[in-house]
Amino acid sequence: MDNIKDGWFTETCTLWPGQAMSLQVEEVLYHKKSKFQDVMVFKSKTYGNVLVLDGVIQCTERDEFSYQEMIANLPLCCHPCPKKVLIIGGGDGGVLREVVKHPLVESVVQCEIDEDVINVSKKYLPGMAKGFFSPKLTLHVGDGFEFMKKNQDAFDVIITDSSDPVGPAESLFKESYYQLMKTALCEGGILCCQGECQWLHLELIKEMRTFCKTLFPVVDYAYCTIPTYPSGQIGFMLCSKNPKTNFREPERELPRDEIESMNLKYYNPEIHRAAFILPEFARKELSKERKELILKLISGLLDGVDNSVLAGEIAPVPLDVEEPLESRLEERAVYNRLSQLPQRDRKAPCKNFFWKTFTSC
């Protein structure tokens, strides 16, 4: 228990160098190594029971609801009919608890590789783990990668509740993983993944948004506040196979009586919309990848190299949803038309249309 000294647990990590998070410990309730990781639960003085994996705080009883409610309801409320849901990770059960509450969800499959985390959470985090007892749930203890390879076009919504991109979890932040999720989604499906912190991981977020936009017609980034996560924030990467999705406006707005009956403490329609409004430093930095993508598309068109993923009816130019839908659809349509032209005839119309888009970024 190297992380506990003089009655205080201190979290340090190479992903947030030069800073630490400390909580006062009343009692260590559990500490063992599973097949996959170091698992610890301690009772803190002010945040209730705390789950720690490999020395990093995963959740506390006091503030877990903000993350769990947002990663579940942002995608669920943007899908017109999210009947079938897949959760990758989330062994503490908090995301599952929120998903099974949703009135339109009929079935949930959860893939968690570490059964010890599930069992520990049932014992020491019962308020989060209650979702494991839902009749909507099919629990799969195993590798989410392998499960999705065998279940394509199967889910309306996929939620990845992962730890930070260190060790085995690093693969969950790669393009190949997002491609795998795409194949597991039904037509019009939506995914939402843990998206790190804009204060600490802006370059990683930018990289992820860039490759996501080569896979999906609509990509956006949101965040919520949570005191015990690094810098007090955590983000969400959202992608949709439906080019008409607008993540910033709920497809189905939860009425007040449902918010009450679902016992939501953080999520509501207003916080949904606000979650996509980024501070100026992050907005500017993330807007750069739009320019880079447009330049890449223009270069490809002029060189006679078409993007096979972007071409076609699903979305030649995936742009931020802060652009008006009509504008985004027009740009996609133009890309489609240009990609059908002989290479020698592309230069003038390409320059005229996309240069205006580029300079307005």
Catalytic residue among 54, 92, 156, 161: 161
E strands within 126-200?
137-141, 155-161, 185-194
Residues whose CB is less than 8 angstroms from the CB of residue 144 and which lie 6 or more positions away in sequence, other chains included: 88, 89, 111, 113, 160
Name the DSSP class of 255: P
CA dist list (Å): 276 to 69, 169, 322: 15, 25, 9
- Rounded CA separation 241/280 (Å): 28
Whether residue 44 contacts residue 24, with contact meaning beta carbons closer than 8 Å, is answered with yes
**Pair 354, 319: CB distance under 8 Å:** no
- The whole-angstrom separation of Cα 87 and Cα 277 is 26
Within the chain, strands assigned E span 4-5, 8-11, 21-33, 38-44, 49-53, 56-60, 84-89, 107-112, 137-141, 155-161, 185-194, 218-225, 233-240
Per-state percent for the chain, helix, strand, coil, to nearest 5: 40, 25, 35
**Is 38 in the active site?**
no
* Residues annotated as catalytic (active site), given as ranges: 161
